[in-house]
Structure formats: structure tokens, C-alpha cells
Structure 1
């Protein structure tokens, strides 16, 4: 696989680039309007963060009418969108999309169709509104890097992902980049590690104390797993929205790519008030049930986050899982408060 370039593509837009700059400059004085495809855990966190931190108007999509009603009650203008069947937005939803200045997609590639559902359903609408769009973001995964045998990777590293999900992500990134080149949509790609936060962390896994799934057990074999607290994910995305740099790719991970076993052991220590035995934690995570041969087949890499710090001025609130779990254990609901 070849690394997608993240060079500026402003020259590609010409001769419409000047019009885009003029429209976006005038729009800077108006309220910012964000439209989020996929108001799941991360999308809802971003919506909460934006609504609290500035005078943003936020709209987005969900799968069901019940979820829509709940979101509307919380002050988020929601519209139904089914990415599995490519059932697009209603006319009212399209109108809300086209009135937005910032577009974020958190929806993964459609497994059945092996394509990006947002672009398949509404790529034409995004192209039409490119001249007035200030920022567009696509949430991808660090899984696109594949196996590096524990070596460090950054945004310029070769994409070695071979799994179906990784290949689909690489294809989706390419589709969003093509949209930028062809239509001038100011695309930014974000490669996220494992996302955790309130209600979705190793603390919840430790409390459950159930038998781990095969995927959980396999992940437990990894010596390095990149992750990031959802609050820091929101802060990075927000910083990028305020400093658009179309064509850029950013890793969103913390400073400490630690194993799942170590993280769960730390969570158990918080819950019990005692140091957890590491070997016992490994057994409880199901690692001992996996053959040694299988462990050599697990992807190993460490993902750098230097770019978000240097380019966006981000200082992580939760530089490792320790600070993140400490905060959640203390009762913080950030960024959902």
C-alpha cells in the first residue's frame, strides 16, 4: 500500500479557490454549524464538546427514530441515516447538511458494500457545498498501518494493513482524499487508536468480570495498543476545526501505547484499592488460553502523536491510560457533562 499524501491541495481547486476563500472569510463572522454523520459514542462526545465550548449549532445523524427523539430532547438536531442499507437523509436532513460549515464523519466503511456510506449517499451534496465548507473531517483508524513488529509509525508511514477492516479504511481514506482533489472539499483525516472514556473503559471491563471474547483475548496479546481518551479526541478535532489545513492527516493517540493487560490490571487496582497481580490479570484476560504461536500473528506497532502537538498545539489532558482511568474513577463525565 502507498501512503496517502497530506500535502495542501489548494492549487487543485483553482480557479474556484478565491471564491472559496471569500465565502469562508465572510462565514467566519457567522455562527459555526457542525453536521456529524454518526452520533454514536465519539460523535455524541464531539457534539457535547462543541455545544459547551462555543456557540456552535450542532446537527447529525442516528439510526433510529427513538434515538433521534432522544437527541432532539438534548438539543441536538438529529436526522435518521441508515449506513447499512444506504438509506440517505430526508430533504430536511439534506437542508441541515447543506447549511453546515463543518462536516464530520465518524461512520466506518460499510462491510456489506465495501464502501464509505456517507460518500456513497451524499458525496454529490458535499461536492456541491464545497465552496462554502470551512472544514471536513473523516474518522479513520490506526489499524491502517498494519504490522510494524513494534516499531514506531507516524502519519507518513507506509500503510501495511491487510485485514478486511484495514483495507476498507484505506479505501475510504482514498475516497475522501479524491473528493478533496476533485471538488475542493477541505478534507482532514484522523487516525484514531482505541477510544475510551466514561462508560466505556477498562474500568467497565474489570467490573463486568466476564469471560473475554476471542477478539478481546487476541487484543490482549498485543504488547502495544494505541488508545486515547474521548475528551482528547474532541479537543484535537476542535483544534483542527479552528485551524483548517486541508489535506492533512493526524494520528489521535496518547503517549503510552500500553498492553490491554496492563490497562485492565491498573483498572482492577483502582477498583480494589490493591495492586493487581500482572500474571493473574493476563490469565483473567484470556491470554493464557491463546497459543504462543498465535501471539506472533498479532499486529504490533507504536503510533506517534507528535503532529497534533506541533501542528495543532495540543497538550493532552490524558497522556496515558493512568490519568484517563483516574479521572473516570473519580467520577468525571468529561466530555459528556
Structure 2
């Protein structure tokens, strides 16, 4: 098996670092050579891709690829991978057996807190989610055209080592924003990696929600993390008066509870089915910091 990752960032590196077979070769792209060491540390052979015409090295690696993972968001114009490499994928990847596309539960839009699954109508409200939904359709269409299964993984809010409420509390950036009845799903990066390997190893296509079992108010997550750290949580702040960027504020315009039942039906078992079990594990082993040594970092006074 050779895996090629377009956009080997946080999720892609976690996927590579947890590969289930040491014989698997993984190639991945990043925008600049300055990030090559991070990819190499995760077991990825790095190549540069900035959204322009793919290099000869990329074309050669794609020719030997059996499993393609796409983790690059569409830009204002189009999906950057399809824009420059669609013909290569369609005609010059003779070994290709499976495509995985990382998307977002944002494509569903707002459901006012109701439970939804993959059968729910997609009615994205933000321009970035509309672009994601269009990219999903394009990747699924390409798969139909070339006879290759495409798995679309709709991810909820991603967290894990180095990106979590512990880090925000340590750095003094944690907030407890209160908006009545607001909930979000989340997903630990290890379960993104696990779900990818599960689907890729079986060449399963379709649309799958990759998300936890416990949609919860965001302030509850911060409070739980503070309790594990033994520190006071930050004060509650009404959403209406909070100082937020337009993008951050837009996330609160959507409210839904997303089911992961379908990917469970095809046999995937979540390592961290809720944020509490994940936080307990990360705090116990020190991995919350994202440091390779896993040592706990001091908490900065806020």
C-alpha cells in the first residue's frame, strides 16, 4: 500500500504516525520545505505543493499510489487539488483503489440543536461550508467516473495533543462563552486517523460523520479541563458581548447534534467517544501538550 496525502497537516500527520502496517509507504504534501521535518517525524516522505501545477515528483508518487487522502480545504475559486490534478488522478493513477476526503459537519448547516445523521439535508450557511459541500460532490463524482470508492469524512471540531482546552487554560486564552442551548460535537485527532485507516483498509466509500457521542456546550468542556488541571475556570462571558472574530462568531450560528452511527455500523470503534475520556487520557499521560516528551507544561497565570 502507498498512501498519498494532499495536505499533511495536523490530521494527516496523526494519520501517518498511527499507521497500522510498517510496510505502508506514506507520501504527503506541505506548502513549504520548512515543514518537511514535521512530516518526516510522522513517517511521511514530504513533497512541496502550494496549489500550483504539481511537480514531477508529485506526479511520479501519484502513479504508485493506492490510497489517496485529501485534507486541503477549497479556496475561494475551487478545490485546489481537483483544479490542478484531476486529470492526473483520473488517467495516471493505475493502482488507485480508494480516495478519502476530509470535510466538515458544517455542510449540514443549522438544525437548532436537533439530532441529525448522514441522511439529513445539507444546507450550509457559510461560504466556506458551501465550498466544502461542492467539493464533496466533485470528489464523489470523480470516484463514480473512474470506478474508485470515495469516502467523505465529515469531521466535527478537531482537538488533540497541542490543540485542546488544557493548552488554552495554560496559555490564558480559554473562554467560557455562554449561548443558550448551544452545543457542539468534537473529534479527537486519533479518531480521525483511526477512521481513515478503517475505511482505507476496507476500501469503503460513502459519506460518514466522524464525530463523538457527546455534543456538549463549549463552556462545559473548559470547565471539565480546568477541573482536571486543578485550576479555576475563566469567568462566564455572554456570547452576545464576547469579543470574537467574524469566523469564530459564525460557528455559533449553527447548532446541531451529529450522530456517528453509520461509521459504527461499518465496524469502527472510537478510541475517545467523548471529550471527558479523551481529556482524562491526555492529562494522565501528558500528551495534551503536544510535546514529544509528553511532559506537563506549567500553567501561565491569566
TM class by shorter chain equals 0.7 to 0.9
Is the Cα contact below 8 Å between 1:146 and 1:161 reproduced in 2?
yes
Q: Does 1:173 align with 2:136?
A: yes
1:237 is matched with which residue? 196
- Secondary structure of 1:132's partner? coil
2:145 is matched with which residue? 182
Which of 102, 107, 122 is residue 72 of structure 2 equivalent to? Answer: 107
Which of 10, 13, 28 is residue 60 of structure 1 equivalent to? Answer: 28
Is the Cα contact below 8 Å between 2:154 and 2:209 reproduced in 1?
yes
2:297 is matched with which residue? none
Which of 101, 116, 135 is residue 138 of structure 1 equivalent to? Answer: 101
Q: CA deviation at 1:72?
A: 3.8
Q: Partners of 2:187 and 2:91 in 1: how far apart?
A: 34
Change (3 A) 1:224 1:182: same
Q: Partners of 2:15 and 2:273 in 1: how far apart?
A: 19
Q: Does 1:94 align with 2:63?
A: no
Q: CA deviation at 1:76?
A: 2.0
Q: Partners of 1:193 and 1:131 in 2: how far apart?
A: 33
TM-score, L = length of structure 2:
0.86
Which of 231, 256, 264 is residue 309 of structure 1 equivalent to? Answer: 264
Change (3 A) 1:38 1:181: same
Change (3 A) 1:80 1:222: farther
Is the Cα contact below 8 Å between 1:136 and 1:186 reproduced in 2?
yes
Is the Cα contact below 8 Å between 2:113 and 2:181 reproduced in 1?
no
- Secondary structure of 1:198's partner? coil
Change (3 A) 1:211 1:252: closer
TM-score, L = length of structure 1:
0.78
2:225 is matched with which residue? 267
Greater CA deviation, 65-74 or 138-147? 65-74
Which of 206, 211, 216 is residue 258 of structure 1 equivalent to? Answer: 216
Q: Partners of 2:215 and 2:104 in 1: how far apart?
A: 15
Which of 77, 99, 124 is residue 45 of structure 2 equivalent to? Answer: 77
Unaligned runs of 5+ in 2: 244-248, 293-302
Q: Partners of 1:80 and 1:60 in 2: how far apart?
A: 8
1:329 is matched with which residue? 283
1:158 is matched with which residue? 121
Q: Partners of 1:324 and 1:171 in 2: how far apart?
A: 32
Is the Cα contact below 8 Å between 2:3 and 2:24 reproduced in 1?
yes
Change (3 A) 1:165 1:73: closer
Q: Partners of 1:81 and 1:199 in 2: how far apart?
A: 25
Change (3 A) 1:165 1:310: same
Change (3 A) 1:226 1:211: closer
Q: Which has the higher helix share?
A: 1
Q: CA deviation at 1:41?
A: 0.4
Please tell me the root mean square deviation across aligned C-alpha atoms, in Å: 2.7
Q: Does 1:128 align with 2:96?
A: no
Q: CA deviation at 1:314?
A: 1.6
- Secondary structure of 2:73's partner? coil
How many residues matched? 286
Which runs of structure 2 are paired with 1:44-55 in the superposition (5 Å)? Answer: 44-50=13-19, 53-55=21-23
Is the Cα contact below 8 Å between 1:101 and 1:132 reproduced in 2?
yes
Change (3 A) 1:40 1:92: same
Unaligned runs of 5+ in 1: 1-31
